[in-house]
Structure 1
């Protein structure tokens, strides 16, 4: 996969379903040696930690664009927002982000990625912080994002989950 020096901008290629719900792809990037997850700060909300897939303007929710597969979009967004490259090991599932009124805002297709490389420079380095978290710590800091917590609970990080 090619990694660009700058993040993609704009939403003109983003994908929406027949109900006009945004289709998003992203990763849970894991260091398999330490069993920790790398989270990034939100570009919209100071002090909020998120998975590598969220962004609303061009976001790490990396809007899945129509010229790439979901897995390619997830890997690209993880590179652009967190500066890591890795191997997608499996698709965890699709998780629904809802509005305050309870309607679907976005469908997040989330993959698990084992990190191979952590870069010192990446496209959104000046916009975001990144930090390692244990499974339990990640659940605490993503408390405002129930769909992220659901994805984390479905990942191999969860000691109680059964994985196939």
Structure 2
């Protein structure tokens, strides 16, 4: 197996972990939007009374007696609650699409790994590319030396047949 073939197989196997990382980033962004929603304050509302003349200043007493309703003027700029909710919903939709894609990737990768004859090779690839463990962690789990695990991993990559859907 050439270096390019090995690189292509590793990249093909890593697609699931990459999708998982994207999902986590999108969930973190969605949480930041939720925090914005809980920390947002209403834009200040100012009441402006119209009366005798717009230029004249009215006393508090005159405002109380004023028969006309105040004109409400919204102040401030920024995101409204509707904007934040729309962004959260859009992210939720994107996350669901990414989860569906990740599940399909995991099925494809799982089928390719199950096609391997050696159970140890299957387990190493599952641990590394589906569970996201480092080779050192897999050594501890399986009770092999690092060099022996690298040999198993390399044999598994050589034996692996990628599906042609990418």
Please state which band the TM-score falls in when normalised by the shorter chain.
Answer: under 0.3
TM-score (norm 1): 0.22
Q: Could you say which structure has the higher helix fraction?
A: 2
Q: Given the two structures, how large is their TM-score scaled by the length of structure 2?
A: 0.22
Which structure carries more strand by proportion? Answer: 1
